[in-house]
């Protein structure tokens, strides 16, 4: 939660309440309706909202996004504190009360003025499932899968995601980027000396409007996600296939790690994602990336035994990135995970053939769950004797403070069929 009721109404809070404007609250309410009633991802809902309302300024957009994400993150707690709510106006008002803030004298909040929501919170948050707003099915599954670790990870991810950038070493270097932002009076810091291109921005800014982004010096990429390319450790000149490339964040990082020497074939089943990758690659100066659309299995067959390394960042539950996608937890069910596990198995069985004998296969997810990670890899190795596990690694939000990633390095044996 952002904070629990303190019972205090200082001047800062009063000033903030005074700035509440009905059009902005209406935008929040409309976004929440789209997320919970129409089951749309919050980031896309916000993107559409800002596109439809170009008159919203920087502070307006920040207000809307902050409240949409905070309320989404805490939705079940809010609904439990005020179970009689009728619409998202009252959900918004209940969130204000839970935070210890005064309600405006608006008719939409008439019933809330007569309640004591704040007094119910201490009792409710004793239940971790309510405290972190975890749906019952997901909570039961998480307990079975992770035991005592489950609530530790939920606590770690029940926060806003930090803003992390990756320095694109094809066009810049960490010192230049740090100097640029400091000149702009934007605070930032190096996260880990062993990963010098990963920098955390310590205030919310529109990075897309900066010269550093426009000129391709940086990309937005979480610290844990950046560790994938370092786990792969590609050599300049190698032939690498990013077989589930999506928007291409890891392809771009791999191109930089390879010093733009060699070849990266980026595959995906979504054409619009590959178009986005082409634009990003041009801005980043990553000339070794070639994008190809997977329309059928023919492209996989044409690439059989052709790659030094294949990266499979497979579709997964996204249970390890709930900080940035809090709405996803309301869509994750055991049935959904089972469908993903089956898809992951098919991808592994089909795409592993693109690795040349002696080459490497990298299996990656941003999931917390063993069924999508260690168990999936174990089952693959049991059914494919020509492959062996070299090492695997799991980054946990409760330990690293960033997204959860699982990475497995698998070798295709020489002479393997």
Distance in Å from the first CA to the final CA of the chain: 53
Q: Report whether 329 contacts 133 (CB < 8 A).
A: yes
Cα–Cα distance between 91 and 114 in angstroms, integer? 15
- CA pair distance 163, 1, nearest whole angstrom: 18
Asked if 343 contacts 295 with a C-beta cutoff of 8 angstroms, the reply is no
Which H/E stretch holds residue 289?
Answer: strand 289-293
Q: Which residues pair with 219 in a beta bridge?
A: 166
Strand order in the sheet with 198-201: 188-190, 198-201, 163-167, 218-220
b/e per residue 5-43 (b: at least 16 CB within 10 A): beeeeeeebeeeeeebeeebbebbbbbbebbbeeeeebe
The C-alpha atoms of residue 275 and residue 267 are separated, in whole angstroms, by 11
Whether 49 is catalytic: no
102, 328 Cβ separation under 8 angstroms: no
Beta bridge partners of 165: 199, 220
What lies within 8 Å, CB to CB, of 57 at 6+ separation is none
- In sequence order, the β-bridge partners of residue 411 are 360, 388
> Which residue in the list 244, 316, 352, 366 is annotated as catalytic?
366
Paired tokens of 369 = 């769950």
**Positions marked active-site:** 366
């Amino acid at each position: 939660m952002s904070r629990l009721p303190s019972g205090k109404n200082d001047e800062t809070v009063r000033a903030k309440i005074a700035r509440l404007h009905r059009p902005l609250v209406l935008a929040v309410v409309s976004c929440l309706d789209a997320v919970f009633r129409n089951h749309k991802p919050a980031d896309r809902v916000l993107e559409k909202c800002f596109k439809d309302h170009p008159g919203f300024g920087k502070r307006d957009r920040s207000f809307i996004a902050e409240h949409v994400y905070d309320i989404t993150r805490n939705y079940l707690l809010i609904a439990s504190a005020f179970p009689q709510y009728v619409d998202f106006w009252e959900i918004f008002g209940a969130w204000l009360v839970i935070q210890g803030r005064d309600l405006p004298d608006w008719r939409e909040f008439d019933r809330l003025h007569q309640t004591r929501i704040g007094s119910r919170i201490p009792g409710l948050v004793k239940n971790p499932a309510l405290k972190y707003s975890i749906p019952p099915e997901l909570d039961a599954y998480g307990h079975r899968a992770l035991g005592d670790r489950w609530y530790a990870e939920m606590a770690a991810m029940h926060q806003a995601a930090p803003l992390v950038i990756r320095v694109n070493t094809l066009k810049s270097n960490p010192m230049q980027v740090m100097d640029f932002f400091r000149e702009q009076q934007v605070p930032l810091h190096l996260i880990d000396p062993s990963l010098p291109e990963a920098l955390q921005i310590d205030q919310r800014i529109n990075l897309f409007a900066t010269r550093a982004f426009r000129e391709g010096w940086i990309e937005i990429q979480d610290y844990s996600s950046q560790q994938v390319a370092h786990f792969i450790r590609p050599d300049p000149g190698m032939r690498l296939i990013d077989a589930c490339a999506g928007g291409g964040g890891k392809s771009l990082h791999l191109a930089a790690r390879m010093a733009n020497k060699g070849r990266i074939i980026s595959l995906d089943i979504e054409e619009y994602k590959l178009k986005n990758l082409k634009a990003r690659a041009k801005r980043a100066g990553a000339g070794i990336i070639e994008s190809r659309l997977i329309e059928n299995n023919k492209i996989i067959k044409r690439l059989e035994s052709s790659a030094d390394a294949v990266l499979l960042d497979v579709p997964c539950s996204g249970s390890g990135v709930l900080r940035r996608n809090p709405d996803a937890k309301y869509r994750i069910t055991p049935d959904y995970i089972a469908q993903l596990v089956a898809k992951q198995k098919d991808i592994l069985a089909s795409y592993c053939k693109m690795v040349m004998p002696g080459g490497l296969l990298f299996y990656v997810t941003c999931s917390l769950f063993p069924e999508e990670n260690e168990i999936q890899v174990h089952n693959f190795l049991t059914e494919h004797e020509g492959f062996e596990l070299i090492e695997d690694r799991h980054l946990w939000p409760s330990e690293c403070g960033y997204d959860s990633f699982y990475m497995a390095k698998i070798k295709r044996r020489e002479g393997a069929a």
